[in-house]
Amino acid sequence: MLISVIIPTFNRGQYIVDAVNSVLNQTWKKLELIVVDDGSNDQTRALLEKIKDKRFHYFYQENKGVSSARNFGLKKARGDFLALLDSDDYWLPEKLSVQLKFMLEGGFHISQTQEIWIRRGKRVNPMSKHTQPGGWFFEKSLHLCLISPSCVLFSRKVVEEVGFFDERLTACEDYDLWLRTQLKFPVALVPYPLVIRRGGHCDQLSRKIIGLDLYRIYSLLKLRTFPMSKDKKEALKRVLEKKVSIYISGCLKRGKFEEAERIKELWTENRQLLF
């Protein structure tokens, strides 16, 4: 059973080799690794061209963003199962073997593992709100993303039924995809930390983009067009109202009156369409 692993990267030369090696050194050997270089101008290409493994495939594209890079890789993938890995993270050697076995035994189409957080070289404990759940947790995920891209493994059926990352979203593209996924599939939780998640560096999107909730609002407004139960629609409306209110208040405090008015009008136009 072939697993396709997709790593998008942009100017992560200091991390990318660790990520690549952690995939190629997996105990599960039947895999292909697709690295999509999203326009790097550092040492990334030179480092990756040194890797000689028939399972490794390197692609370069002009900078289009992480969603475009991931989608490029997903479309190139030939595997029965698909996995994502951020280029600043890395896996423990048994990650894919343990996760695939867990999924096949339980009949799941998507799962995530637990992870170890490293910030500026030191291990830290994530806040309780970031604790990774399993099962059906759509309502919880409306508030913030509860699935880590580096932790997931999913069958090709998920992509066929849910689609790809939304390339119009500059941020929160993973939040958007996993919400759509949770309308159709339960997410299994493998109860072992098999991913090392590194953070705290200045090039992370969560540090570079201010007002991430704006992209969550866009995602939730789009989500209202998808079939879902009345309870889920009620939850969606409540979270949207809260996020819109907080975002508008923040704009007003910062003197961004035109932006506040724009979002207020957008919400007014869409609010009645939720039911």
Radius of gyration of the chain (CA): 19
Among 203, 238, 263, the domain-final residue is 203
| Same domain (yes/no): 105, 163 | yes
| Same domain (yes/no): 103, 190 | yes
| Same domain (yes/no): 72, 186 | yes
Do 149 and 197 form a contact (C-beta atoms < 8 A)? no
3-state secondary structure of 81: strand
| Same domain (yes/no): 60, 174 | yes
Among 203, 230, 249, the domain-final residue is 203
Q: Quick one: pLDDT at residue 83?
A: 98
| Same domain (yes/no): 189, 253 | no
Q: Note down the domain range covering 228.
A: 213-274
Q: Is residue 28 part of a domain?
A: yes
pTM: 0.93
| Same domain (yes/no): 260, 139 | no
Q: For the segment 196-236, what is each residue's pLDDT rounded down to a tens digit?
A: 999 865 555 544 445 799 999 999 999 988 999 999 999 99
User: Which helix (H) or strand (E) segment is 112 a member of?
Assistant: strand 110-119
* Total tally of structural domains belonging to the chain: 2
Q: For residues 95 and 98, give the distance between their C-alpha atoms in angstroms, rounded to a whole number.
A: 6
Q: Is residue 208 part of a domain?
A: no
Among 203, 230, 248, the domain-final residue is 203
Alpha carbon distances (Å) from 52 to 21, 49, 56, 58, 173:
11, 8, 8, 11, 32
**What are 211-216's contacts with CB under 8 Å, separation 24+?**
211/247, 211/250, 212/171, 212/172, 213/243, 213/246, 213/247, 214/247, 214/263, 215/169, 215/170, 215/171, 215/172, 215/173, 215/175, 215/176, 216/144, 216/172, 216/175, 216/243
Q: Environment class of residue 38 by beta-carbon count within 10 Å: exposed (0-12), middle (13-18) or buried (19+)? A: buried
| Same domain (yes/no): 217, 185 | no
| Same domain (yes/no): 251, 141 | no
Q: Is residue 236 part of a domain?
A: yes
Q: Is residue 107 part of a domain?
A: yes
Do 59 and 34 form a contact (C-beta atoms < 8 A)? yes
| Same domain (yes/no): 161, 107 | yes
CATH of residue 97's domain is 3.90.550.10
| Same domain (yes/no): 125, 245 | no
| Same domain (yes/no): 161, 270 | no
Alpha carbon distances (Å) from 84 to 24, 52, 80, 175:
14, 21, 14, 14
| Same domain (yes/no): 257, 129 | no
Provide the residue-wise pLDDT of the chain in tens; the chain has 275 residues.
999 999 999 999 999 999 999 999 999 999 999 999 999 999 999 999 999 999 999 999 999 999 999 999 999 999 999 999 999 999 999 999 999 999 999 999 999 999 999 988 889 987 777 788 999 999 999 999 999 999 999 999 999 999 999 999 999 999 999 999 999 999 999 999 999 999 865 555 544 445 799 999 999 999 988 999 999 999 999 999 999 999 999 999 999 999 999 999 999 888 877 65
In the beta sheet, which residues pair with residue 47?
none
Q: What angle do the packed helices 257-271 and 213-223 form, to 10 degrees? A: 20
Q: For residues 184 and 180, give the distance between their C-alpha atoms in angstroms, rounded to a whole number.
A: 7
Q: Is residue 198 part of a domain?
A: yes
* Type of residue at 17: V
Q: Is residue 61 part of a domain?
A: yes
Q: Is residue 47 part of a domain?
A: yes
Q: Is residue 180 part of a domain?
A: yes
Do 135 and 186 form a contact (C-beta atoms < 8 A)? yes
